[in-house]
Amino acid sequence: MSFHHTHKHFKEENLIFVMVLNFIITLVEVIGGLLSGSLALLSDALHNFSDGISVIISFIAIKLSKKENTLTNTFGYKRAEILAALFNASFLLAIAFLLFKEAFLRFQHPQEIESKLMIAVALVGLTANVISVFLLKTGAKESMNIRSAYVHLFSDSLSSLGVIIAGLLIHFFHINIVDSILTFMIGAYVLKEGFDILKQSTSILMEKVPADINIIQLKETIENIPEVDNLHHVHIWQTNEKQILLEGHIDVREDISLSEADKIRTKISSILLNQFGINHTTLQIEYNCCKDKEIIKNHWQIRNR
């Protein structure tokens, strides 16, 4: 398992451009949707509006995350981006359910749709969304926060493409029901993507062990070091996507000097970084002093004994 990453630098100014572009497209699609009678186009406009909001939130979160650590906030504001991702994911879920509701109502009460206008406006929306997706592509690989905004925009690109296809079907075959069906499909995609980001951001906020780290394998790797007898009382968590932390107790085989203990600690930290991607470690070196050698220490059980 290797954890060496290289990324192109993401320009934060891209977020501002994408935000302005999406609010302009939202206005165009609302007008086009009302004039054409297309629910799919209005749904796309709603999604574009949410894109703009999500980009604003992502931009603010990036600025907050760069604030310096303080004596009262020793981790800084690194989790601002995770909170932004959580909010954007929740927003996606709300939009998905709203799309389901509107599609159901339109299915019950179908309306005539001006397909030519619907297609023309959707083409403008698709162009803007493709540009936005391209501008956020690099950042989406680096940050869950940017990825939440990217998912908004990528799904909206699919939505715009779907509106164009629906418009063609309505124009040539007069199948107006496809407008409601398309809206249901867009809602399903938004629901799935929103749930995935919600799950990932919640896992970080609840301080779960990162999904790609096997704590049993980690324990076995450390205990294969000749000087180490046991690794116990382990905690692994993340402050954000880039910082993974570990604290634990290392029981050594012999009563060694402080300088020797420091060499072991350095060796373990290097292994944890290179093999497991853990870039911040706090290790307590011990020699035959902990009676409890379990890998996980349940503090609530200790308090209630």
pLDDT band at 300 (very low <50, low <70, confident <90, very high): very low
Residue 214's pLDDT is 94
Region of poorest pLDDT, from 118-127, 171-180, 213-222, 234-243: 171-180
Residue 265's pLDDT is 95
Element (H, E) at 234: strand 228-238
Residue 40's pLDDT is 66
Superfamily holding 13-205: Cation efflux protein transmembrane domain (1.20.1510.10)
Cα dihedral across residues 52, 180, 93, 140: positive or negative: negative
CA distance 282 to 285: 10
Domain boundaries, given as residue ranges, for the chain: 13-205, 215-303
pLDDT band at 299 (very low <50, low <70, confident <90, very high): low
Residue 4's pLDDT is 43
268 neighbors 226 (Cβ within 8 angstroms): no
Residue 142 pLDDT greater than 60, yes or no: yes
Q: pLDDT digit string (tens) for 57-105? A: 888 888 888 888 888 888 888 889 899 889 988 988 888 888 788 778 7
- Tokens read off for 289: 């002093």
- Tokens read off for 279: 């870039």
Region of poorest pLDDT, from 3-12, 100-109, 221-230, 233-242: 3-12
Superfamily holding 215-303: Cation efflux protein, cytoplasmic domain (3.30.70.1350)
Mean per-residue pLDDT over the chain, rounded = 83
Q: pLDDT digit string (tens) for 118-140? A: 788 888 888 888 888 888 887 77
Residue 302 pLDDT greater than 70, yes or no: no
CA distance 144 to 125: 25
Its pTM stands at 0.76
50 neighbors 92 (Cβ within 8 angstroms): yes
Query: What's the average model confidence in pLDDT over 280-297?
Result: 83
Residue 303's pLDDT is 44
CA distance 167 to 19: 27
pLDDT band at 111 (very low <50, low <70, confident <90, very high): low
